[in-house]
Amino acid sequence: MERAPDIAVLIAAERRESANVFAELTPAQWDAPSLCAGWRVREVVAHMSMGFRYSTARVLLELARARGSLNRMTDRLARRDAAAHRDRDLAGFLRTHAHHPWKPPVGGLTAALGHDVVHGLDVTVALGLDRRVPEDRLRILLYGSAQDLLLVAYGRTLPGGRLRGEEAHRFVTA
């Protein structure tokens, strides 16, 4: 019987690998558009580390300032943080906090892994980088109810409303 993967270990690996990719980006790549509408690469990377850098109390305060809009809050914080931190520091936050236990409000560790994988792809696909998501990580996100949560949480529209394994092969490490 195959043992279930330790999702926390996969999250840490994804964060470290993403940090390595981001650390090699040129200034022009940091300023390039990502797949997140209206965000450059630097805003996406700043957003990816918000959960490590803001306490729950601070997030609730910022959410109140945004009149309850999570999208307005994350947009404002990502833009502010992207302007306030150097590129190498933004990448470094992911490496430094690779083992941080942050999870989104819903979805647990699977959603945390999805957050890191999806936003990493928002950067690498937009930049035309050939970074492949290892199969063990992608498998968790492709099968079962976790992918439905990811589609809703990250607003991805896919053929037929679902991402099947054969459609995702281009993102997987062979």
The total number of structural domains in the chain stands at 1
Paired strand residues for 40? 33
Flag whether 1 is in a domain: no
Closest among 17, 74, 7 to 46, alpha carbons compared: 74
In sequence order, the 6+-apart residues with CB closer than 8 A to the CB of 134 are: 13, 172, 173
DSSP string, 88-137: HHHHHHHHHTTT-----SSSHHHHHHHHHHHHHHHHHHHHT--PPBPHHH
Flag whether 64 is in a domain: yes
Question: Residue 13: which domain range?
Answer: 7-171
Flag whether 22 is in a domain: yes
What pLDDT does residue 3 have? 65
Cβ burial of 144 (10 Å; 0-12, 13-18, 19+) is exposed
For CA atoms 147, 34, 9, 71, give the dihedral sign.
negative
What pLDDT does residue 5 have? 74
Cβ burial of 3 (10 Å; 0-12, 13-18, 19+) is exposed
* Calpha distance 83→86 (Å, rounded): 8
Flag whether 2 is in a domain: no
Distances (CA, A) of 160 to 60, 114, 165: 36, 20, 13
- In this prediction, residue 139 has a pLDDT band, given cuts at 50, 70 and 90, of confident
Flag whether 129 is in a domain: yes
Q: Is the pLDDT of residue 2 over 90?
A: no
Flag whether 161 is in a domain: yes
Reported as a single tens digit per residue, the pLDDT across 83-124 is: 999 999 999 999 999 999 999 888 889 999 999 999 999 999
Reported as a single tens digit per residue, the pLDDT across 30-76 is: 999 999 999 999 999 999 999 999 999 999 999 999 999 999 999 99
Percent of the chain scoring above 90 in pLDDT: 68
pTM: 0.82
Q: Is the pLDDT of residue 164 over 90?
A: no
- In this prediction, residue 4 has a pLDDT band, given cuts at 50, 70 and 90, of low
In sequence order, the 6+-apart residues with CB closer than 8 A to the CB of 94 are: 15, 16, 18, 19, 22, 45, 48, 49
Flag whether 89 is in a domain: yes
